[in-house]
Amino acid sequence: MADTAFIPKEKWEAFIEGLSAKALVYVPCIEGDTVMFRPFSKEKTLCFDRPANISPKGVIFPQSDTLFSFKFLKDPANPQKVDIELTENKTFPKVILIGSRPCDAKGFTVYDRPYTQTDTPDPYYKGRREQTTVVSLACQAPSAGCFCTSVEGSPADKEGSDALVTELEKGYFIEALTDKGKELLKEGGLQEGEAYRAQAEKAQAAVEAMVPKPFGKEGKVQVSKELFENDEFWEKELAKCLSCGACTYLCPTCYCFNITDEHHTEQGERVRSWDGCMYAHFTLEASGHNPRPAKFQRFKNRVGHKFLFYPEKYDGVLACCGCGRCVRYCPVSVDISEIVGKLQASAGNAAQSE
Ligand code: SF4
Ligand code: SF4
Ligand code: SF4
């Protein structure tokens, strides 16, 4: 089989079902009025026609992850003799994630740099990432708030995916991008796909032209450091923020966490859970001092991480994939693309006046 395949629409679910016999398959499922990534089963209603409300980051970076269990062993006959028994939780199943969007897949690459491309890789993230095949679905239209093309992505971006699927009138064109993606094409029920490539690329280009570009119009995103350091600007922009933290939880590129030991008498678990810089307690120090006590300072840090600090550390790569979830679902409609647009425009003005 070549690097591309085609599957008629009526065989798509059977294809997914076939994969689920060999791996844990996550797919976007409708639950109430939201779309969430869940393990595939025939009873679930799959939804591929809009991006999931919650990004699939939890498949590789669980919202709450037991790192290890511990047991405090004490010998009552010798009270000075104590020991601790540790049981690591490092067995990860083979996973196929189907229906993530190209921006979601790019989100995993933002995680990869600090979590795997370092001298001290995170074994939990790395283990799951290696076991996961990411099969992204090219978008057929941008959703409200999408701005992937402003941050060097596109509705058919290939970065971070093992295979890219494009929906056509009669079926799905599948392009394998890695060895893991090629494995998928060994599955039964697939036809040769090359004859559909041109049709798929035409459809992809049409969608790319539809994505709004609130900033980044002329190449690289440039953020005005002068405006970035202006507290009045942030205070005004963030006056309505509720500090609910939804933007960080929904974000496919936010990777901060907290660690807690959940204790029950003499045994317990060490658990890693998502955390986020929009919460007041996130930077609260044991002394009671908080270096970012105001919500505008927290948002400034969030934007700074994505558009200044991460690019400074990783060769200009932005840590926002433009998925637009934080724009769509912020209860008071704080719009990061609008704010970055102002920072970029101000940088442009500064350059012109030099
Ligand atoms: S940001 Fe781009 S890739 Fe992501 S859902 Fe929107 S159009 Fe698709
Ligand atoms: S989702 Fe909106 S209101 Fe909630 S913390 Fe983020 S910016 Fe503030
Ligand atoms: S900051 Fe907003 S638009 Fe950017 S990746 Fe996160 S949720 Fe998506």
Q: For ligand 2, atom 8, name the residue with the nearest CA.
A: 241
Identity of the residue numbered 170: K
> What distance in Å separates the CA atoms of residue 168 and residue 170, rounded to the nearest whole number?
6
What is the pLDDT, as a whole number, of residue 350?
60
Identity of the residue numbered 103: C
In this structure, what token pair is assigned to residue 132? 């996961």
- Is residue 198 within 8 Å of 132, Cβ to Cβ? no
Q: Relative to the CA of 141, which ligand 1 atom is closest?
A: 7
Which residue carries 């912020």 as its tokens? 330
Question: Residue 25: phi, psi to the nearest 5?
Answer: -100, 120
What is the pLDDT, as a whole number, of residue 125?
98
Ligand nearest to the CA of 108: 3
Question: Residue 135: phi, psi to the nearest 5?
Answer: -110, 105
Question: C-alpha angle with apex 223: 109 to 301, nearest 5 degrees?
Answer: 65
Span from the CA of 61 to the centroid of ligand 3 (angstroms): 17
What is the pLDDT, as a whole number, of residue 45?
97
DSSP 133: E
Span from the CA of 54 to the centroid of ligand 3 (angstroms): 11
What is the pLDDT, as a whole number, of residue 162?
98
Nearest of 163, 164, 19 to residue 155 by alpha carbon: 164
Span from the CA of 240 to the centroid of ligand 2 (angstroms): 9
Our answer on whether the CB atom of 180 is closer than 6 Å to any ligand 3 atom is no
In this structure, what token pair is assigned to residue 218? 């002329």
Roughly what angle, to the nearest 10 degrees, separates helices 123-131 and 102-115?
140
| Residue among 242, 323, 329, 336 to mutate when testing ligand 2 (max atoms within 8 A of CB) | 242
- Is residue 322 within 8 Å of 146, Cβ to Cβ? yes
Span from the CA of 176 to the centroid of ligand 3 (angstroms): 26
In the beta sheet, which residues pair with residue 231? none
In this structure, what token pair is assigned to residue 119? 């001298």
What is the pLDDT, as a whole number, of residue 226?
94
Our answer on whether the CB atom of 277 is closer than 6 Å to any ligand 3 atom is no
Span from the CA of 250 to the centroid of ligand 1 (angstroms): 14
Span from the CA of 251 to the centroid of ligand 3 (angstroms): 5
In this structure, what token pair is assigned to residue 74? 């004490």
Q: Are strands 132-137 and 95-100 parallel, antiparallel or unpaired?
A: parallel
pLDDT, tens digit only, all 354 positions of the chain: 469 999 999 999 999 999 999 999 999 999 999 999 999 999 999 999 999 999 999 999 999 999 999 998 888 888 888 899 999 999 999 999 999 999 999 999 999 999 999 999 999 999 999 999 999 999 999 999 999 999 999 999 999 999 999 999 999 999 999 999 999 999 888 999 999 999 999 999 999 999 999 998 777 888 899 999 999 999 999 999 999 999 999 999 999 999 999 988 889 999 999 999 999 999 999 999 999 999 999 999 999 999 999 999 999 999 999 999 999 999 999 999 999 999 999 987 665 555
pTM confidence score: 0.94
What is the pLDDT, as a whole number, of residue 354?
54
| Residue among 253, 278, 305, 343 to mutate when testing ligand 3 (max atoms within 8 A of CB) | 253
Cβ neighbours for 204, distance < 8 A, ≥ 6 positions apart: 138, 154, 155, 156, 166
Our answer on whether the CB atom of 322 is closer than 6 Å to any ligand 3 atom is yes
Our answer on whether the CB atom of 241 is closer than 6 Å to any ligand 2 atom is yes
- Is residue 346 within 8 Å of 227, Cβ to Cβ? yes
